[in-house]
Copies of this chain bind each other. A is one copy, B any other.
């Protein structure tokens, strides 16, 4: 993101990451209190899904913003970079 993400997106991402941080702290509490395996695993699955939503939002904003602008400017190396990123995420 060259000129930064829009403020609305930043607030959205930070709210989601704050919630994720709280969930991770919650899992620590579950481990300390010997919570049953299944409940802990459900909570971990929830954190991973929340992380996936954050990556989709970031990728979307990258593609709509940066990628489109750079392709129009002929800076096609952005395409190699996008493909490398998608491969890592898949």
Residue ranges of A at the interface with B (Cβ–Cβ < 8 Å): 1, 4-5, 10, 13-14, 17-18, 20-21, 24-25, 27-28, 31-32, 34, 36-38, 40-42, 44-45, 47-48, 51-52, 54-56, 58-64, 66-68, 71-72, 76, 79, 81-90
Question: B58 near A40 (CB under 8 angstroms)?
Answer: yes
- Closest 8 pairs (CB-CB, A-B): A37-B62, A4-B34, A71-B71, A17-B28, A21-B24, A44-B55, A13-B31, A48-B51
- Are the C-beta atoms of B45 and A88 separated by less than 8 Å? yes
What is the total number of copies of this protein in its complex? 4
B-side contacts of A28, CB under 8 Å: 14, 17-18, 21
